A and B are shown apart, each in its own frame.
Chain A
Amino acid sequence: MNVSYELIVIGGGPAGMAAAYGAWRHGLRRILVIERDGELGGILNQCIHNGFGLHYFKEELTGPEFAERFINMLAEAQIDVLTGTTVLELAPGRKVHAVGSRSGYNIFAADSIVLAMGCRERTRGAINIPGTRPAGVLTAGAAQRLVNIEGYMVGKRVVILGSGDIGLIMARRLTLEGAKVLACVEVMPYSGGITRNIVQCLEDYNIPLYLSHTITDIRGNRRVEQVVVSKVDDGRQPIPGTEIVFDCDTVMLSVGLVPENELSRAAGINLDSRTNGPTVRDNMETSAPGIFACGNVLHVHDIVDFVTAEGERAGAAAAAFVTAQTPPGANLLRIVNGDGVTYTVPQTIDRDNMGDSVAVFFRPRRIFRDSHIVVEHAGGTLKAFKRPHMMPGEMERVNIARDVLAGAAGEITISCKELET
């Protein structure tokens, strides 16, 4: 194994694999992917359900099938892979410190780096549920790993808090394995997961979804015995007298994901407080020159095909950085979040060096029907994109063409606007 690479990718999930492959397709040959787990694939290995790759491979695959295709593509391209190895530190001068029980302690030098560490689940402590602390409370991702990879059942009667995709997928999974899923409880008035999962994971199995409800008490001595669910008001405060008690032995939390950025933070890379990921230009480059980011480490994605596309863009940009070292142009456009937009990725567009168009991703703040996504500069509309339906659980994307931005300077605003009817 070399100690110096043109590109080092940190994290071997779909984002990291796509970045490595994208860089290879754009001419880099000395590429290393470092993965903490014993195998490549990231979260896909435990996502045994189907629904991956319809856009990228034009076929509907399960998570492991999607991963295996990329693993084979990397092997054919002879990209170096170091599994069972954790990156501990990104030191100045793009030095990567990594340790593994078999690979030992290594310091690799890289001309460019792609961050693709994915995200982690919010845990119970992060959202403060009252009640005792019995066994039987776990996150949906942990449950998914236990059931699908380790082969352990997590409980018999389950209540799910949060309607994120992992929770919905696990509601179906546990039902198929013989558990009774009593309820899925969501504090917001809309679901956090994509509609397809509401339909085929809850409705198919008659699992009730309680919107605008939350768990207000968890009871039990050694194991969970009961949970209390209450309706909440517009300010998300529980309404007394609305309590429903469920007898159950397991509470599964699906209350969101947070990008995993300890490494980035320690390396002094600018983070966006809205996404919890690095701020990036349209080429996926972070505030540190030559360090790029993609996938869930940047912002939480619902669809792997978008992750793959973002990874390929980051890989291509890393290749361009290694071969040309083009500095950012003089016309950096900052994207301001207008009405109804919680964040955007990228946060800035390099107007001089952008390609023919830039894909801007964001999440709408609430449900919008019959609306426009509007791109504005200095009070004038540059472009409007029609959307019949938008919701916070589903990421939005607009492709802004280069000529649309020709006259813009300083900043542009992206917002969601309902059409007058």
Chain B
Amino acid sequence: MTKLVCIVCPKGCRLEVDEQNGCSVTGNSCPRGEVYGKSELQNPTRTITSTVRLTGAAHRRCPVKTAAPIPKHLISDAMRLLDDIEVSAPVKLGQTIVPDICGTGIAFVATRSFAAINY
């Protein structure tokens, strides 16, 4: 039996995962907790958020996220992919920034829109 805190949403339900029993989950308040409890023991993943360089907009950084959770062990490789990226406005929310993170088929996408600014 492994005790975990569900981190899928800020509610933080306290889960118990039973490895002897096909990783059955108790303590969750919603179905996402069950999915999380299982995958946390079998293949832990995280959604990663960061920023990339941005030009031609009111801000200098464009926030991005992985379009889906990626395996935890790929986090630092994924972060390195963003180092040399520069996008220029206009940017649309959901726009692909890096198409494929380390062969996962998961993309980094922009998490907000920026209008182009002419100085």
**Residue ranges of A at the interface with B (Cβ–Cβ < 8 Å):** 38-39, 45, 48-51, 54-55, 60, 62, 64-65, 67-68, 147-151, 176-177, 194-196, 198-200, 204, 302-303, 388-389, 394
Contact across chains for B112 and A67 when beta carbons are under 8 A apart: yes
Contact A194 to B10, CB < 8 A, known contacts A64-B63, A151-B60, A176-B75:
yes
Residues of B within 8 A of A196 (CB): 5-7, 9-12
Most buried by A among B14, B63, B65, B113: B63
* Interface window among B16-24, B46-54, B99-107: B46-54
**Residue ranges of B at the interface with A (Cβ–Cβ < 8 Å):** 5-12, 14, 46-51, 53, 58-61, 63, 65, 72, 75, 79, 93, 111-113
CA distance A49 to B64 in the complex (A): 9
CB distance from B39 to the nearest CB of A (A): 14
CB distance from B6 to the nearest CB of A (A): 8
CB distance from B41 to the nearest CB of A (A): 14
18 A-B contact pairs sorted by A residue (CB < 8 Å): A38-B58, A48-B49, A50-B47, A51-B9, A60-B47, A62-B49, A62-B63, A68-B113, A148-B51, A149-B61, A150-B60, A151-B51, A176-B50, A177-B79, A196-B11, A199-B5, A200-B46, A394-B12
Contact across chains for B10 and A64 when beta carbons are under 8 A apart: no
CA distance A67 to B112 in the complex (A): 9
Residues of A within 8 A of B58 (CB): 38-39
Residues of B within 8 A of A50 (CB): 47, 49, 65
CA distance A137 to B51 in the complex (A): 23
Residues of B within 8 A of A60 (CB): 8-9, 47
Residues of A within 8 A of B12 (CB): 194-196, 394
**Nearest 6 pairs between A and B by C-beta?**
A64-B112, A195-B12, A48-B63, A54-B9, A196-B7, A151-B61
Residues of B within 8 A of A68 (CB): 93, 112-113
For B50, give the chain A residue with the smallest CB separation.
A176
Tell me which of B6, B53, B111 contacts A64 (CB under 8 A): B111
Contact A51 to B10, CB < 8 A, known contacts A62-B65, A151-B53, A199-B5:
yes
Contact A150 to B9, CB < 8 A, known contacts A68-B113, A389-B14:
no
CB distance from A286 to the nearest CB of B (A): 28
Contact across chains for B10 and A48 when beta carbons are under 8 A apart: no
- 16 further A-B contacts with Cβ under 8 Å, apart from A49-B49, A62-B49, A389-B14, are A48-B49, A48-B63, A50-B49, A62-B65, A64-B63, A64-B111, A64-B112, A68-B113, A149-B61, A151-B53, A176-B79, A177-B79, A195-B12, A196-B6, A198-B5, A388-B14
Tell me which of A39, A176, A204, A302 contacts B10 (CB under 8 A): A302
CB distance from B104 to the nearest CB of A (A): 17
CB distance from B77 to the nearest CB of A (A): 12
CB distance from A177 to the nearest CB of B (A): 8
For B32, give the chain A residue with the smallest CB separation.
A54
Residues of A within 8 A of B11 (CB): 196
CA distance A9 to B32 in the complex (A): 36
Residues of B within 8 A of A200 (CB): 7, 46
Residues of A within 8 A of B5 (CB): 195-196, 198-199
Residues of A within 8 A of B46 (CB): 200, 204
